C-alpha cells in the first residue's frame, strides 16, 4: 500500500514590478528599427501584455535564479504554515541555473536552509517542472518522506539582453524566444496528509513522455545547429568562438511548433483513451503554452472531447505573468488556487508541452476537503 500525495501549499515569486510591452527595450535592448518591428510582431502573436524581469530599468540583474526559487518556496511554505525544516525533500526544476556546477537544487537548498534533505535537480525545459513534481509525489507516496517541496524557477532575461545578440546572426529562431520569455518561480508543498483545515489538491497521477526518438531538437543553446557534433559543442570550442557562432543564444525552430501542438493533443487524447482523463469529470484545465496562438489550438482540441469546456474552466496567466518556462505551470496553479477558481470535488488537469525535443507532461488533481469534513462528492452520494 502506498500513501496519497496532496498539494497543501502554493507560492510564486515574480521579481520586480510588472513590465509592459513598452518597457521591454529598456531592459533587454534592441531598439533599432528592425528589432523593434520583429518585437512588435512576436508580441502580437504571443499575446503577452506584462511580464517580470530580474533586471533593473537599465537591464542590470537584480537577483539570482536561486533567489527566485527560494522566494517562491518561502511563499509556498508560508502558505502552508510550515518552515523549511519541515521539508525532507526538495525537487528543483530550471532550464539553466546560475552556475554550471553544482546542481541547481544544491544552490537552492544552501540558500533556503532548513536541515538535511533529499535533493533533486531536474534539468530540461518547461516540463521539468512536472518531472520534479512527479519525483516528489512518488517519494511521498512511497512513504519515504512525509513532506516535500517542489520549485520551478527561471531567470532567462539576462541571456536575452542586447549584448548577447550584438554582431551575431540571429533569425526568428532567436527572436521568438527573446520577446517571449521572462523570469519567475513557482512552488508547491507535497504532503502525505491533506491540509488540516482547508482544502488540498490530491495528486491523482503525473505522466511525462518524451518523443525525442522521432523528433529533432526544437529548442536549443550550446551548439551551432540542430545536431550536436563531436568536438563542436560550446564546451569543446573556445568560448569566444562559441559566442561568435551564436551558441549562447536560446533558439527555437518555430517551424516545428505546429507539430509540437499536434503531438501534445495526441498525448492528451491518449490519456483520454486509456481512461486516465475522464472528460465527463474534468472541471479545470491549467495549460502552459508559449503563445496565445497555441492557446486557441489546444483549447479547440480539448473542446472537441469536452464540449462543455468553456473559458471559465480554462486557466492561463500567460498574458499577465509572461512565459516563465518551467515555472509557468506552478505560477498559474498558484494564481488559480489563490483566486478561488476550484471547489471541493473539482478535478484539475495540468498540461505542459515542452518544445525542447518534444516532451509532454500532465498531472491530474482533485480538490479535497480537510480531513473530517465530507467532500462534495460524498455529499452527492
Partner 1 sequence: MTTTAAGTDTLAERLAEVWADLEEQLAQVPILRRLDEGTVTLDDYLRLLFNLRQQVVDGSLWISRAASNFDVAHFELRAAAIRHAEEEHRDFLMLERDYVAVGGSLDQLRAGRKNIGSEALSGYMFHYADLPNPVGLLGAMFIIEGLGAQRAAGWAARFQEVLGLADSQVHFMRYHEQADSAHTGDLEAILDSGIIDAAAADDIVRCAQVVARLYALQLEELDR
Q: Which residues bind partner 1 (CB under 8 A)?
A: 1-4, 86, 141-147, 192-193
Q: Which is nearer to partner 1, 4 or 292 (CB)?
A: 4
CB of 92 to partner 1, least distance (A): 22
Q: Tell the smallest beta-carbon distance from residue 4 to partner 1 (Å).
A: 5
Comparing CB distances to partner 1, the nearer of 193 and 375 is: 193
Of the two residues 262 and 371, which places its CB atom closer to partner 1 in the complex?
Answer: 371
When the beta carbons of 3 and 237 are compared against partner 1, the nearer one is 3
Minimum CB separation of residue 71 from partner 1 in Å reads: 25
Question: Cβ 18 to partner 1, closest distance in Å?
Answer: 38
Question: Which one, 113 or 171, has the nearer CB to partner 1?
Answer: 113
CB of 86 to partner 1, least distance (A): 8
Residue 123: HSE in the Cβ half-sphere, 13 Å Cα cutoff: 9
Minimal distance in Å, beta carbon 257 to partner 1?
41
Which CB atom, from 6 or from 104, has the smaller least distance to partner 1? Answer: 6
Amino acid at each position: 500500500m502506498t500513501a496519497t500525495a496532496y498539494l497543501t501549499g502554493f507560492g510564486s515569486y515574480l521579481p520586480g514590478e510588472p513590465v509592459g510591452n513598452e518597457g521591454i527595450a529598456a531592459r533587454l535592448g534592441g531598439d533599432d528599427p528592425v528589432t523593434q518591428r520583429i518585437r512588435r510582431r512576436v508580441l502580437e502573436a504571443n499575446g503577452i501584455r506584462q511580464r517580470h524581469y530580474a533586471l533593473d530599468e537599465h537591464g542590470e540583474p537584480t537577483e539570482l535564479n536561486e533567489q527566485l526559487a527560494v522566494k517562491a518556496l518561502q511563499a509556498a511554505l508560508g502558505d502552508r504554515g510550515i518552515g523549511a525544516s519541515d521539508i525532507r525533500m526538495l525537487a528543483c526544476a530550471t532550464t539553466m541555473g546560475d552556475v554550471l556546477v553544482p546542481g541547481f537544487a544544491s544552490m537552492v537548498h544552501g540558500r533556503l536552509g532548513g536541515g538535511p534533505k533529499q535533493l533533486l535537480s531536474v534539468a530540461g525545459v518547461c516540463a521539468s517542472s512536472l518531472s520534479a513534481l512527479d519525483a516528489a509525489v512518488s517519494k511521498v507516496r512511497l512513504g519515504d518522506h512525509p513532506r516535500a517541496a517542489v520549485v520551478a524557477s527561471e531567470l532567462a532575461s539576462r541571456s536575452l539582453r542586447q549584448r548577447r545578440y550584438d554582431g551575431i546572426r540571429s533569425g526568428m529562431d532567436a527572436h521568438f524566444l527573446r520577446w517571449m520569455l521572462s523570469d519567475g518561480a513557482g512552488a508547491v508543498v507535497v504532503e502525505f496528509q491533506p491540509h488540516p483545515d482547508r482544502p488540498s489538491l490530491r495528486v491523482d497521477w503525473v505522466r511525462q513522455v518524451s518523443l525525442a526518438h522521432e523528433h529533432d531538437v526544437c529548442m536549443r543553446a550550446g551548439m551551432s545547429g540542430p545536431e550536436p557534433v563531436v568536438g563542436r559543442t560550446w564546451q569543446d570550442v573556445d568560448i569566444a568562438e562559441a559566442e561568435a557562432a551564436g551558441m549562447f543564444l536560446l533558439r527555437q525552430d518555430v517551424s516545428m511548433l505546429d507539430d509540437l501542438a499536434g503531438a501534445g493533443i495526441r498525448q492528451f487524447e491518449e490519456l483520454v483513451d486509456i481512461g486516465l482523463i475522464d472528460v465527463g469529470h474534468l472541471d479545470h484545465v491549467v495549460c502552459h503554452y508559449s503563445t496565445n496562438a497555441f492557446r486557441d489550438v489546444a483549447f479547440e482540441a480539448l473542446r472537441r472531447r469536452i464540449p462543455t469546456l468553456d473559458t471559465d474552466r480554462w486557466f492561463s496567466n500567460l498574458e499577465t505573468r509572461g512565459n516563465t518556462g518551467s515555472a509557468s505551470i506552478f505560477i498559474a496553479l498558484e494564481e488559480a488556487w489563490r483566486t478561488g477558481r476550484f471547489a471541493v470535488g473539482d478535478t484539475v488537469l495540468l498540461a505542459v508541452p515542452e518544445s525542447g525535443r518534444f516532451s509532454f507532461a500532465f498531472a491530474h488533481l482533485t480538490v479535497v476537503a480537510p480531513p473530517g469534513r465530507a467532500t462534495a462528492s460524498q455529499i452527492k452520494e
